[in-house]
Structure 1
Amino acid sequence: MNRRIVLLLPGQGSQHQGMGVHLYEREPVFATAMDEFFAATEDDGARLRADWLSGTPDVPIDDGPRAQPLLYAVGHAVGRLLIERGLRPGLLLGHSVGELAAAALAGVFAPAAGARILRGRSAALAGTPPGGMLAVAAAPDRVAGLITPEWAAAGLAVGAVNGPAQTILAGADPELALVAEAAAAAGLTCVRVRAHQPFHSPVLAEAARRFEKAVAAERLRPANTPILSARTARPVSPQEAVDPAFWAHLMSEPVLFWPALAGLPADEGFVFVDTGPGNGLATIARRHPSVRAGISRVVPLMPPPGRDPWPVWEAGLAALADAL
Structure 2
Amino acid sequence: MKYDIIGDIHGYLNDLLALLKKMGYGLSESGYYYHPDRQAIFVGDYIDRGKNSKQVVHLVRAMQENGSAIALMGNHEYNAICFHTKGSSGEYLRPRTNQNIKQHCATLHSFEDDAFLSESLDWFKQLPLFYENEYFRVIHACWDAEQIEIFKQKMEGNQLKMEHLEASTIKGDNLYEAVEILLKGRELKLPGEHTFKDVEGHIRNQVRVKWWENPEGKTYLEYAVNEFEPAAAEQLTIPIPPYMQSILPYPTSEKPVFFGHYWLSEESPKLQNQKVCCLDYSIAKAGKLVAYRFDGEQELNENKFCW
**What TM-score do the two structures reach when normalised by structure 2?**
0.35
**What TM-score do the two structures reach when normalised by structure 1?**
0.33
Counting helix residues as a fraction of each chain, which structure ranks higher? 1
1 or 2 for the larger relative contact order (CA 8 Å, sep ≥6)? Answer: 1
